[in-house]
Structure 1
Amino acid sequence: MTSPILNARSQARSLALALGAAAALLLPAMPAAAQGSEQFVALPSYRVGPYGANGQSWYGGFIDYLNYVNLKEGGVNGVKLSWEECETEYNNAKGVECYERLKSKSTVSRGTAYHTMSTGISYALVDKTAADKVPLVMMGYGRTDAVDGSVFPYAFPLVTTYQMQVSAIVKFLTAKNGGSLAGKKIVYLYHDSAYGKEPIVALQAEAKLGKFNLVEIPVAHPGNEQGAQWLKIRQENPDYVIFWGWGVMNQTALKAAQKVGFPRDKMIGSWWAGSEEDTVPAGEAAKGYMSATWNVAGKHVPLIADIEKVLYGAGKGNMQDKAKVGSVLYNRGVSAAVVTVEAIRVAQGKFGKGKVMSGEDMRWAFENLDLSNARLQQLGATGLLPELKTSCENHEGSGKVKIQQWDGSKWVVVSDWVEGNKNLIHPLFKATAAQYAKEKGMKPACLKS
């Protein structure tokens, strides 16, 4: 005969198990981060803090595409994609902590490819990712000298670097001024961080070559105090302001420009200062403002329209604010995920379809990308990024941007592809790459497959 005490314990245990099972059913569905049969993608993201709104759209688009590939295709050749986010708050130390935590989630992929969306965090990780043999992907940001794969085999500043981007902006302004900026004055207003400092050497070289006067004005993080800077800009009375802002700094600058009477159509920003998150809050102050971009905004892109149909139609989208689907940063996040998934396909094509790819496999794939316009069209991704063709000598793969302008309600592309001055810029980053190799005691060499 069972004792009352043992019976009570048995009932309590059964009740606890039942409650636990019920609670599990109520938890939100999350990707299984460390399944051996899945390609685990680490996401050191940020959704809070002064740059959180930007991260929400970018990482929302990235995750939506991973989920879309799982639902639409069953993964990549049968290999499902899984992922896990870790909040960095755009903080370098937290970015490193997230990397250390995420890389152990899969002993095979070690995270597949790290997209930190932060130049500072990328600088902090460039040696760590190389030692751990996993790609650090910096799409449109990060170290320019990482274009040289013989020195930075695991770092990929894809699409266009900051130095090539600022060179393209100068080329665009030169064309607007009849082919010469000689005697003009340009203010470079920038976020006082690795992100804002990265283009300076290129802009100084452009000023020397183009014989225009350059005035450099930094803005302290997070950039919501710019009174002194815009007072100086009013005093300098420049012909143009090249603007390297991020987050709250961007709308603050547009409002300040309006306040001091500086024409917004004489301001041209980097692609991280050219999203709806920047212009909509600035209201009328943003009208006429221009920025560089590599991707278009809008749901007219077939891939974006299908993501909305497949995911959000089924209630499985990542974005809480569905209105941001199709925005500049959302589409840019999708573009980064497209490149990552295409690299997984390329890796599988060489190392085995239907297998989980290692960090070393992915390194080879990112160095051997050939993402043509024909392939982008097949994906429904025309306009999300330019053609990409990488090699050991060129981890950038493109070097082109377009210029867009805010018409008061939407972004309108106002140029064709503009390529920076390679003859001027490439020797600059090759010199710093060589110096880096010397400091590290490295002998530059392309890795063999």
Structure 2
Amino acid sequence: MKIVKLGVLLCTLAGTAVAQSVAADSGKSDNVIKIGILNDRSGAYADLGGEGSVVAARMAAEEFGNAIDGVPVEIISADHQNKPDIGLGIVRRWFDVEKVDVVADISNSGVGFAVTTLANERQRIVLNASASSDFTGKACTRTSFQWVYSSYTNGYGLASALTKQKLDSWFLITVDYSFGHAFSNDMRRAIEKAGGKVAGEVRHPLNTADFSSVLLQAQASNAKVVALANAGADMTTAVKQASEFGITSKQTLVAPTVFLTDIDSIGLAAAQGLQFVTAFYWDRDEASRAWSKKYFARQGRMPTMTQAGIYSAVRHYLYAVRAAKTDDALKVADKMRELPVSDAFAPNGKVRADGQFLHDMYIARVKKPAESKQRWDYYDIVSTIPADEAFRSLSEGGCPLLAQR
């Protein structure tokens, strides 16, 4: 009996030694490349990211056979509940106990700032789908990347374009945390630079169910544009109630941050004519359609721009790990900035020195019900904003990394 136990022990030790040798030979620590998808899985932003982002990340890993140089790729997930303290606690455990190499998605700027700060201390990668422009500005770090969109691309860009079309008076309805504040600030700057004015602004808590008093103030302002600086369930609730109040027939309704699942929830009757900027649309071209159909086969819905963006970000990270021949965060981060990006999300993308992923953006308008041929056929792409115009210039951001170069 003792001989059998000794044999088992020796086999176990030998297996461990082989695994450690594989990890050492491959340049990968801990014999696993572990990616944590952190987002809202139960609240206002669950549909735009949630489990769909996990599925998208797994699709990216599968393109590499779920391994890099024989080292397995593992994807885990957790719900930050839109609370920075909860998100930070999860990520601290991921880094210190579970040896997670990368945190992806987040989709909440308040959580995002907490996570990128800790990741910078621990030298781990962040693939951030949160919106604040500060992630590639004053809060930029060597190991953090902003992948999908920003308050500049979707707030400043939209406000600038519409103000120049003589829609020059605005009323802002802003969710009261860093995400909404970032959008409000970027829209204000664009409106005023283009010669327009902000007639008023009201801030509301996350997960607001009744926008009636806010919408009445927007109507009374007589502003030409009512802008919803919020997202997820807040945005969809506000759009539905704006339609009921008749705002959409008298004022132009815009929402800088709109996702495909939002329009599916609102319905074309209430959302028709809504204008916004998007990073991705499943029916944009042949490549986006092909990938989206594979995603649909798993999820039963077409992907949002965040979900498609997480696929792209994880895919690029894994390419960088393979090219760098290591999962060392600093070396992989450098390689991510060096390699070009070409995938279903962005056919011509590149990562800038401040961690901003540059790609084309699109001005979209929601179709009328009669124009839609099937479910998920919701957008008209009005125009393309080239990457070099869509994103804030490197010199404007104030990223402290640039002073170190």
Query: TM-score range, shorter-chain basis?
Result: 0.7 to 0.9
The 5 A counterparts of 1:128-167 are 128-139=118-129, 141-148=130-137, 152-167=141-156
For residues 205-233 of structure 1, what are the alpha-carbon distances to aligned partners after superposition, in whole Å with 9 as ceiling and x for unaligned? 22222111113222221122211110001
Aligned to 1:136, what secondary structure does the other structure show?
strand
**Residue 159 of structure 2 corresponds to which residue in structure 1?**
170
**Residue 277 of structure 2 corresponds to which residue in structure 1?**
292
User: What is the aligned counterpart of 1:118 among 88, 105, 108?
Assistant: 108
Q: 1:388 to 1:92 in 2, by over 3 A?
A: same
Aligned to 2:383, what secondary structure does the other structure show?
coil
In structure 2, C-alpha distance between the alignment counterparts of 1:424 and 1:41, rounded to whole Å: 29
1:75 Cα offset (Å): 3.3
For residues 174-209 of structure 1, what are the alpha-carbon distances to aligned partners after superposition, in whole Å with 9 as ceiling and x for unaligned? 46x2xx55xx21122221111110123322222222
In structure 1, C-alpha distance between the alignment counterparts of 2:57 and 2:389, rounded to whole Å: 34
1:293 Cα offset (Å): 0.7
- Alpha carbons 1:160, 1:400 under 8 Å: kept: no
- Alpha carbons 2:43, 2:81 under 8 Å: kept: yes
In structure 2, C-alpha distance between the alignment counterparts of 1:421 and 1:174, rounded to whole Å: 17
- AA in 2 matched with 1:416: S
1:426 Cα offset (Å): 5.5
**Residue 445 of structure 1 corresponds to which residue in structure 2?**
404
Q: TM-score, normalised by structure 1?
A: 0.72
For residues 355-392 of structure 1, what are the alpha-carbon distances to aligned partners after superposition, in whole Å with 9 as ceiling and x for unaligned? 5x132233223333411xxx32xxxx1xx236321232
User: What is the aligned counterpart of 2:292 among 299, 304, 310?
Assistant: 304
1:42 Cα offset (Å): 1.2
- Alpha carbons 1:401, 1:417 under 8 Å: kept: yes
Aligned to 1:53, what secondary structure does the other structure show?
coil
In structure 2, C-alpha distance between the alignment counterparts of 1:229 and 1:426, rounded to whole Å: 36
1:294 Cα offset (Å): 0.5
- Alpha carbons 1:297, 1:411 under 8 Å: kept: no
**Residue 265 of structure 2 corresponds to which residue in structure 1?**
280
In structure 1, C-alpha distance between the alignment counterparts of 2:347 and 2:150, rounded to whole Å: 13
Q: Which has the higher strand share?
A: 2
1:344 Cα offset (Å): 2.0
User: What is the aligned counterpart of 1:93 among 85, 88, 100?
Assistant: 85
**Residue 55 of structure 1 corresponds to which residue in structure 2?**
49
User: What is the aligned counterpart of 1:38 among 32, 49, 68?
Assistant: 32
**Residue 380 of structure 2 corresponds to which residue in structure 1?**
413
- Alpha carbons 1:369, 1:388 under 8 Å: kept: no
Q: 1:368 to 1:253 in 2, by over 3 A?
A: same
- AA in 1 matched with 2:94: L
User: What is the aligned counterpart of 1:335 among 309, 316, 320?
Assistant: 309
- AA in 1 matched with 2:172: Y
Q: TM-score, normalised by structure 2?
A: 0.79
**Residue 349 of structure 2 corresponds to which residue in structure 1?**
388
Structure 1: where are the runs of 5+ without partners?
Answer: 1-33, 438-442
**2:171 aligned with 1:195, yes or no?**
no
How big is the alpha-carbon RMSD for the aligned residues of Structure 1 and Structure 2? 3.1
- AA in 1 matched with 2:231: W
Aligned to 1:297, what secondary structure does the other structure show?
coil
For residues 26-72 of structure 1, what are the alpha-carbon distances to aligned partners after superposition, in whole Å with 9 as ceiling and x for unaligned? xxxxxxxx9943311012233213333333354244244145335xx
Aligned to 1:41, what secondary structure does the other structure show?
strand
Q: Which has the larger radius of gyration?
A: 1
- Alpha carbons 2:48, 2:304 under 8 Å: kept: no
Q: 1:150 to 1:276 in 2, by over 3 A?
A: closer
Point out the more displaced range, 143-152 or 296-305.
143-152
- Alpha carbons 1:189, 1:242 under 8 Å: kept: yes
Aligned to 2:102, what secondary structure does the other structure show?
coil
**2:241 aligned with 1:256, yes or no?**
yes
The 5 A counterparts of 1:162-241 are 162-174=151-163, 177=165, 180-181=166-167, 184-214=168-198, 215-241=200-226
Structure 2: where are the runs of 5+ without partners?
Answer: 1-27
Percent sequence identity over aligned pairs: 10
1:238 Cα offset (Å): 1.6
1:276 Cα offset (Å): 2.4
User: What is the aligned counterpart of 2:76 among 53, 71, 84?
Assistant: 84
In structure 1, C-alpha distance between the alignment counterparts of 2:39 and 2:174, rounded to whole Å: 23
**Residue 255 of structure 2 corresponds to which residue in structure 1?**
269
For residues 114-139 of structure 1, what are the alpha-carbon distances to aligned partners after superposition, in whole Å with 9 as ceiling and x for unaligned? 33121110111222111100122223
Aligned to 1:216, what secondary structure does the other structure show?
strand
In structure 2, C-alpha distance between the alignment counterparts of 1:232 and 1:90, rounded to whole Å: 28
Number of residue equivalences? 365
Q: 1:48 to 1:396 in 2, by over 3 A?
A: same
1:95 Cα offset (Å): 0.5
**2:337 aligned with 1:347, yes or no?**
no
